[in-house]
């Protein structure tokens, strides 16, 4: 390297490849922007003076110097491209800068013009801005501070300011500390400790060495008692019973409210472990400050015990934002039905039965009907399609998708959907189909409520290959389609953050193991994204999993997502010693949020696919079945199933 010459990260990356055309140069400009390399960004932008999407050239150039850009530069860019998706993205960037700088007058002027409004940091900054004007915003702030994993600088700044200015009290900050302990969020706990003047060492000890703190118990001061509760939450994560013994041992040193909070912390961890003791812990937690997770898991514990009175009481005690979720609408209906309050139950079921998701399907069956395919609307005409193809935003989206810039493509696509009628949305979904963007077709068509097109929502591509492979294995083709729809949305090149690939999102190690099991010779992992190979391995593995779980679709779907060993653990330990649960209750109690959501969506997809493929009404409940304890001897296929 020549003395005095330092190559930027973007320059180094681009030097390894030849920039053949302007699309290549835009990609290099984008890379420079995301490396905050303004020098390279200016150089690439200068070469794109005639690029046919100038707004993105200007945006990437601005983004490369985001933190240093002046308000005038942001304003000039937004005014130049006002009304476009990229102008709204730039306003998002600008608002974050204004929030960090505390420029509240300009923030308040610009925030109402932010159309997408999906940035939680900006929501916190907006509340903070109002707080600086002495507005009463404590309830708005509390509504935003309910999931420690979602906190960022905006929310930290809001919490800090409102506590220092006595708009949030110490009781709420201690509640946040207990929630941080529930979630193992030590960085959040340390920041909360600073607000409460608790030394970092004491916070760390409560989180990392809870057993040591349990030996001496809490002292007679608020800080010590709250640290004891935080340590109790950490101990309960590994051993709820030991935590319960510790709480009982020192209960006299705690206030009644603190004891209730302690039992709630233990109950949540016991509920995650699907322990029968959880329901007793919840009973002792009466009057505790509950997190959103705790409200829901209290009801899930009652469902496992089929205690419909506690189910009803638990749901009615939820905040309205939770109680009105379709899941709890359905389960409240079930509780009313179990208590003979059929009219109230029927009203709740009817309120969601027209929705095509898991709970809508269950509510439909509770109303005495099966799941069918809605009447098809009129087909998209050539004239409608031709008109939609002229939409400049959709043209930009298709251009970006062709360049594999999916973030930009989806931003432009969704921006245009905002302004469309339901009919226009269905036409846009058809345009996505014409361009082999099945994921975009599905997600677009899913937006309609009045006029629906199940052919768009539940596509059946490569049906010949699918029929051949599923038939040879004795698998339900609707189930495999339902799984693919959830796994990859039919994107051939899909790859997850953990390395799963292809239509059926197969992990390399699992693919190698399955290839050996099904006799697929000459397999190498670079074949995973080949369509037929991916389906052959995915369906082969799915068949092995299904057989190992006695044909239970919910258990097999959970195993496909989270691994067979976890799916086994989520059953009662031994034959004859645990409850036999209806499949919906078992699925509701899956401890992993991702897998719980996955199983519900795969089974709902499967039911819709079966109705579409067969033309006959279907039952979700029959697919869910019942799930009892683990068999005394797991099948041979369980022993090495990855």
Q: Tell me, what's the pLDDT at 162?
A: 97
pLDDT at 361 over 80: yes
pLDDT at 8 over 80: no
Q: Tell me, what's the pLDDT at 635?
A: 58
Q: What is the mean pLDDT of residues 550-577?
A: 90
Please list the residues that pair with 581 across neighbouring strands: 627
Mean pLDDT score across all residues of the chain: 94
Which tokens in the block code for residue 123?
A: 């929501």
Question: How many Å apart are CA 359 and CA 543, to the nearest integer?
Answer: 27
Condensed to tens digits (0 to 9), the pLDDT of residues 291-320 reads 999 999 999 999 999 999 999 999 999 999
Q: Where residue 576 falls among pLDDT bands split at 50, 70, 90?
A: low
Question: How many Å apart are CA 293 and CA 185, to the nearest integer?
Answer: 15
Q: Where residue 558 falls among pLDDT bands split at 50, 70, 90?
A: very high
Which tokens in the block code for residue 53?
A: 């999407």
Half-sphere exposure of 181 (CA within 13 A, CB side): 35
Length of the chain: 642
Q: Tell me, what's the pLDDT at 621?
A: 98
pLDDT at 503 over 70: yes
Question: How many Å apart are CA 192 and CA 170, to the nearest integer?
Answer: 10
Condensed to tens digits (0 to 9), the pLDDT of residues 225-259 reads 999 999 999 999 999 999 999 999 999 999 999 99
Q: Tell me, what's the pLDDT at 7?
A: 39
pLDDT at 520 over 80: yes
Question: How many Å apart are CA 450 and CA 456, to the nearest integer?
Answer: 15
Percent of the chain with pLDDT over 70: 95
Q: What are phi and psi of 631, to 5 degrees?
A: -65, 155
Q: Tell me, what's the pLDDT at 526?
A: 87
Q: Tell me, what's the pLDDT at 13?
A: 47
* Nearest alpha-carbon partner for 469 in 414, 400, 518, 418: 518
Question: How many Å apart are CA 601 and CA 358, to the nearest integer?
Answer: 7
Q: Where residue 17 falls among pLDDT bands split at 50, 70, 90?
A: low
pLDDT at 397 over 80: yes
Q: Tell me, what's the pLDDT at 12?
A: 45
Condensed to tens digits (0 to 9), the pLDDT of residues 125-156 reads 999 999 999 999 999 999 999 888 778 999 99
Torsion of CA 67, 400, 508, 438, to 10 degrees: 130
- Tokens 């179990």 locate to 338
Q: Tell me, what's the pLDDT at 252?
A: 96
Which residues are tagged catalytic? 487
Q: What is the mean pLDDT of residues 543-570?
A: 95
pLDDT at 67 over 70: yes
Q: Tell me, what's the pLDDT at 10?
A: 47
CB 534 within 8 A of CB 504: yes
* Nearest alpha-carbon partner for 553 in 642, 457, 480, 467: 480
What b/e string do you get for 628-637 counting C-beta neighbours within 10 Å, with b at 16 or more? bbbeeeeeeb
Q: Tell me, what's the pLDDT at 638?
A: 56
Condensed to tens digits (0 to 9), the pLDDT of residues 93-111 reads 999 999 999 999 999 999 9
Q: What is the mean pLDDT of residues 319-327?
A: 96
Q: Tell me, what's the pLDDT at 492?
A: 83
Helix orientation angle between 153-164 and 186-195, rounded to the nearest 10 degrees: 20
Which tokens in the block code for residue 45?
A: 């932008």
Q: Tell me, what's the pLDDT at 639?
A: 58
Percent of the chain with pLDDT over 90: 88
Condensed to tens digits (0 to 9), the pLDDT of residues 404-441 reads 999 999 999 999 999 999 999 999 999 999 999 999 99
Q: Among the listed ranges 10-19, 172-181, 443-452, which one has the minimum average pLDDT value?
A: 10-19
Q: What is the mean pLDDT of residues 85-93?
A: 98
- Between 8 and 465, name the one with better pLDDT: 465
Q: Where residue 575 falls among pLDDT bands split at 50, 70, 90?
A: low
Whole-structure pTM value:
0.93
């Amino acid at each position: 390297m020549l003395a005095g010459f330092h190559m930027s990260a973007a320059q180094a990356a681009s030097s390894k490849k030849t920039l053949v055309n302007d699309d290549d140069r835009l990609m290099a400009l984008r890379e420079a922007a995301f490396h905050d390399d303004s020098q390279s960004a200016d150089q690439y932008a200068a070469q794109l003076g005639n690029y046919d999407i100038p707004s993105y050239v200007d945006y990437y150039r601005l983004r490369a110097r985001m933190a240093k850009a002046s308000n005038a530069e942001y304003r000039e860019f937004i005014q130049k491209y006002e009304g476009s998706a990229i102008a709204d993205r730039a306003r998002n960037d600008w608002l974050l800068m204004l929030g960090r700088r505390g420029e509240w007058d300009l923030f308040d002027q610009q925030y109402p013009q932010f159309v997408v409004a999906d940035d939680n940091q900006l929501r916190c900054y907006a509340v903070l801005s109002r707080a600086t004007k002495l507005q009463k915003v404590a309830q708005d702030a509390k509504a935003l501070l309910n999931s420690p994993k979602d906190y960022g600088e905006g929310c930290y700044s809001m919490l800090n300011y409102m506590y220092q200015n006595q708009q949030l009290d110490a009781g709420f900050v201690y509640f946040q500390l207990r929630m941080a302990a529930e979630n193992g969020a030590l960085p959040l706990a340390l920041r909360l400790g600073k607000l409460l003047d608790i030394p970092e060492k004491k916070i760390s000890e409560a989180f990392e060495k809870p057993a040591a703190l349990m030996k001496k118990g809490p002292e007679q001061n608020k800080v010590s008692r709250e640290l004891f509760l935080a340590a109790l939450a950490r101990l309960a994560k590994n051993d709820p019973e030991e935590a319960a013994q510790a709480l009982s041992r020192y209960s006299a040193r705690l206030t009644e409210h603190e004891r209730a909070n302690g039992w709630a912390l233990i109950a949540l961890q016991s509920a995650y472990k699907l322990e029968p003791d959880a329901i007793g812990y919840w009973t002792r937690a009466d009057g505790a400050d509950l997190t959103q997770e705790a409200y829901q898991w209290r009801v899930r514990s009652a469902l496992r015990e089929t205690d419909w009175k506690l189910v009803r009481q638990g749901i009615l005690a939820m905040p309205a934002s939770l109680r009105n979720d379709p899941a709890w609408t359905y389960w409240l209906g079930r509780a009313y039905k179990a208590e003979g309050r059929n009219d109230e139950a029927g009203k709740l079921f009817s309120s969601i039965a027209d929705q095509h998701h898991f709970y809508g399907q269950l509510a439909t069956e509770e109303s005495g009907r099966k799941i069918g395919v809605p009447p098809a609307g009129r087909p998209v005409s050539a004239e409608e399609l031709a008109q939609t193809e002229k939409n400049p935003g959709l043209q930009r989206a298709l251009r970006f998708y062709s360049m594999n810039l999916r973030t930009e493509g989806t931003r432009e696509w969704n921006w245009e959907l905002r302004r469309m009628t339901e009919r226009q949305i269905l036409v846009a979904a058809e345009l996505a189909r014409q361009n082999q963007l099945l994921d975009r077709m599905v997600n677009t068509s899913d937006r309609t409520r009045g006029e629906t097109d199940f052919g768009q929502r539940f596509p059946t591509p490569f049906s010949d290959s699918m029929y051949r492979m599923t038939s040879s294995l004795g698998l339900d083709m609707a189930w495999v389609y339902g799984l693919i729809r959830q796994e990859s949305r039919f994107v051939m090149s899909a790859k997850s953050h953990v390395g799963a690939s292809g239509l059926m999102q197969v992990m390399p190690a699992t693919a190698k193991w399955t290839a050996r099991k099904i006799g697929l010779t000459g397999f190498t992992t670079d074949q995973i994204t080949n369509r037929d190979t991916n389906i052959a391995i995915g369906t082969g593995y799915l068949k092995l999993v299904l057989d190992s779980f006695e044909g239970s679709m919910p258990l097999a779907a959970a195993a496909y997502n989270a691994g067979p060993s976890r799916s086994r653990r989520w059953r009662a330990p031994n034959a004859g010693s645990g409850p036999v649960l209806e499949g919906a209750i078992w699925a509701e109690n899956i401890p992993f949020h991702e897998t719980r959501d996955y199983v519900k969506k795969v089974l709902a997809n499967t039911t819709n696919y079966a109705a579409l493929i067969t033309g006959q009404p279907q039952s979700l409940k029959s697919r869910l079945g019942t799930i009892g304890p683990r068999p005394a001897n797991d099948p041979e296929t369980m022993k090495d199933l990855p």
